[in-house]
Structure 1
Amino acid sequence: MTTPDDELLVAKIPADVEMPDKLIAGLTARQALILGGTGLLAAWVYLLAQDHLPLPVIAAVVFPMVAVGCALALGRRDGLSLDRLVLAGLHHMRHRKALVAAPEGVAPLPAWCKLRGRMPGPLKLPVRAIREDGVIELADGGTAILVRAGTVSFTLRTPAEQASLVAMFGRWLNSLDAPVQILVQARSADLGGLIDRLEDTAPQLAHPALEQAALEHAGYLRELNTSRDLLIRHVLLVLREQPEARPVRRSRARDVTANLLARRAENAVRSLSAIGINAEVLHARACIEILSNALSPGEARPPGLAGPHDTITAAEADDR
């Protein structure tokens, strides 16, 4: 039984504008083209072989062709149509698997080298550089910026408050006039550092009862850390901006798009703050950490690099 409060949570979702149009008999243009090509190929084989081979042999040749064509046109796996999955597999097989960081390209082997196998290919990352203010310069000429957002306790709100949150978030989505990606990441959490800090600072507390409580809490966290697979969730907004099409200098175009992107990020932070979501624009070091975790999750990070104006001491140089 629905109540008036439940009706407030009903929201209309627009149709998927990226869904391909159905042209003929519920088939998309891609599906119709594959099925039509398969039919023409089967008819051509039949016309060529009808005077030379018996009908069962022709059927044995034509039936697998028709089955493969129907599977490519109508089949799906992991959200992709089979024809696109096959093309992706062929692309993967043709390209080199071993990639190295070589922006200038991999030099060919000298004539005297008899090394067998293929040389590694150059690794082409989508990110060209990260500025100090957090603006990411992309390899395709565009720019991007990352915004870390928090979450709200939706289930603890009243139905009216939930409806208000949904409406305000919907208004923010409808106000967007440029691409925005909402990325939710789940990473393994390790409480070892927090446990060590609790145990180190517990003797410094003002009362023995507080020290005992801190040590008991550290023990609880240690048991929780060893008996559960803890996860921490990150919500990121990725805002992108393409350079202007007018013929201007590349550096000038990047500066203009970076300023536009920074204003859009600040507007997003203010809009999310209005509905109780804490958000912040990430700067260079945070962006580097997030991109590093995305490329090699769970691996240890090398010590941070010094900035162009940082002073490097002897101890820091030895660590590096």
Structure 2
Amino acid sequence: MSWVQPVRIPADVDQEDRLVGGFTARQVTILGGTGGLLYAIYLIVGDRVPLVVCAAVALPFGILGVLLAIGRRDGVSLDRYLLAAIRHQRSAKSLVSTPGNIPPPPSWVAARTGRPPAPLRLPARGVAGDGLIDLGPDGVAAVAEVSTVSFALRTPDEQDALVAVFGRWLNSLSGPAQILVRAERVDLTPTISTLTANARSLPHPALVAAAHEHAAFLADISARHDLLRRQVLLIMREPAAGPNGRDAAAARALRRLDEASRLLSACGLTVRLLDASATAALLASCFDPTAPPLPDGELAAPGEVITRGERW
């Protein structure tokens, strides 16, 4: 009889391996590098400087090395946190969208003091007319909004059926896919305005009073709470290769979304592909969640010339 020894897998699969004494390779490198540097300095100046002075000077550097190795802040190790802070301090704070490098100002322009702006490098090159995100050499990405279904209110058999359908969709994936669950603020002002305007045409005074009472209730909770709604997005990305790679990648991404829509419909989920305006509004809200929404009118595409008719 053969026995199979179970292997415990940690919940965090991205956790670093512990090599020596519970320390990771990064921590061992920091501690060993700090100790080796201090020892090398002692070998150089130890004969000319008293031992007490050497210990007093080396103690702060030793404590700093230990803190960098084992310390954490907001879930990030202190060495990576310090490197990120230095990188942020040295990087340009003003970024502008430009197809190339920013040319220097002419000699006759009195440039302001401070760090000049730097080009804004984004993975997305723009949103095409079909709503797909152009990723340049990385291909295209199709974004769809997916409805939700209550899992806890289903019976065990229904839950097993939902899991089986979802598993079949996962097994059918032929390329990269991302499920993004985001929370966005909800503005009840249009709903309250529509409710108040429609209350005037209600046939009974009791209905009018109920409509105004509900509008006041919505206005009260909107003023006292930060209302959020959950949005589930399904993103399909396809790489582009060849002269017509963008069109082929777009066709594959749309086909994969269509397959996901057919399979997930068995779970009662609706997959709706976002059009160009909805995708642009989504990207804008991700970059600046506190900004007002984009206007509903048609937006000019990047590089498109905007004209205006004049009356004579």
TM-score bin, normalised by smaller chain: 0.7 to 0.9
Contact 1:103–1:123 (CA under 8 A) maintained in structure 2:
no
**2:260 is the counterpart of 1:271:** no
Q: 1:306 to 1:55 in 2, by over 3 A?
A: closer
Q: 1:126 to 1:110 in 2, by over 3 A?
A: same
Q: Structure 1, residues 160-219: CA drift from partner, whole Å, max 9, x if none?
A: 434543454355445545333322222221211111112222333455554444333323
1:119-268 counterparts in 2 under 5 A? Answer: 119-173=116-170, 175-244=172-241, 248-249=242-243, 252-268=244-260
Distance 1:123 1:203 in 2: 51
Unaligned runs of 5+ in 2: 1-7
Distance 2:65 2:172 in 1: 43
Aligned length: 298
Distance 1:270 1:198 in 2: 36
Unaligned runs of 5+ in 1: 1-11
Partner amino acid, structure 2, of 1:270: R
Q: Percent identity?
A: 46
What TM-score do the two structures reach when normalised by structure 1? 0.80
Q: 1:93 to 1:132 in 2, by over 3 A?
A: same
What TM-score do the two structures reach when normalised by structure 2? 0.82
Distance 1:58 1:175 in 2: 65
Contact 2:277–2:298 (CA under 8 A) maintained in structure 1:
no
**2:46 is the counterpart of 1:88:** no
Distance 1:33 1:177 in 2: 40
Contact 2:137–2:240 (CA under 8 A) maintained in structure 1:
no
Partner amino acid, structure 2, of 1:90: I
Aligned match of 2:3: none
Q: 1:13 to 1:152 in 2, by over 3 A?
A: farther
Q: How many angstroms does 1:313 deviate by?
A: 8.8
| Aligned counterpart in structure 2 of residue 296 of structure 1, from 284, 288, 297 | 288
Q: How many angstroms does 1:43 deviate by?
A: 1.8
Contact 2:183–2:230 (CA under 8 A) maintained in structure 1:
yes
Deviates more, 1:173-182 or 1:52-61: 173-182
Distance 2:195 2:135 in 1: 42
Aligned alpha-carbon RMSD (Å):
3.0
Aligned match of 2:51: 55
